[in-house]
Structure 1
């Protein structure tokens, strides 16, 4: 199977009797954006942490994460091939914008020239041509969001998780960045799972939507 699959995933706080949400099973196909809706505090971000391999030790989880037919549940985060885009477009302050992107670049791209070109091409496609040497502190919120997405995609993930990445943007910028993100992830034809509490995010994604 090509895509991301969850099998009977259940998460609870350590020592708690009840799970955060009913056991969840789903499939996200390549090129699809599946949205999980739910109010704040229900466990959406915790689910993202489990799928990505970042679950806090204060939680207990069961179930499987299967990517392209391979069970990756027991793998560390860096070996899963799953990218995550969070609410905060955090860039390393001690690196230039270009070096931030290069930090995540797929290691299969070798050689200084080839790696520089891959980053420059990514910046250009994000409307950030000429920004390689820029200090991240000089970027606007929209520029940071675009740079953060390209950094995630340069790692060549085989699936992508979106953890309410538009929640802190003002309405006008939210629509712009949302369109930018959805356009670029569809080009890569990978499964995308987005969690949000905003129905407009799900509507813009244009795919299936599930309630948590």
Structure 2
């Protein structure tokens, strides 16, 4: 049986790649995982290197696609570990290079998301919305129930804005290097297909989050669907 460690290794992940090569590499590895039932279950629970693969390298590939595909000098290197950045982007020009340090943060309810993925592994499907009810514990035996229910789009957007704000503010006072970009990643598959919802994100971040006392160079807000991408200069404002 193929193991996730057969597909994802730190040595392979940390190879420096161009924007197009990074995007192609991620898609190839994701297809290998998606084609195997057992690996899909491991990936949903973010076990092993799946957590970094989906929470850091996938958004790095989205960032590359949104901003750097027309820059052949840009090089991307994910970095696995507990340092104050998740990736390095180098811009090579005239024998020298400048570096950007990328720090990702996820604007999600991680606990509820993990319960949905656990339910998905058990039942083969999961409602995208609805309250998650938990009975018991992992040790004694846990039962999950998710009631499918309609949701108000405005409420979903408001909830997501709250998660974006919390994720960004957690990074506000940490001792990052000045050339760091904070990238807030959120799920924009539900409630954000219409332009007005994405405009709410833009206005909220621009008016409530960007004016805070940032010590980093940029703040980026990135949707996992690839539709939403906003970047703000922060260091020059404060």
> Structure 1-normalised TM-score?
0.35
User: Higher relative contact order by CA 8 Å / sep ≥ 6: 1 or 2?
Assistant: 1
Bigger helix fraction: 2
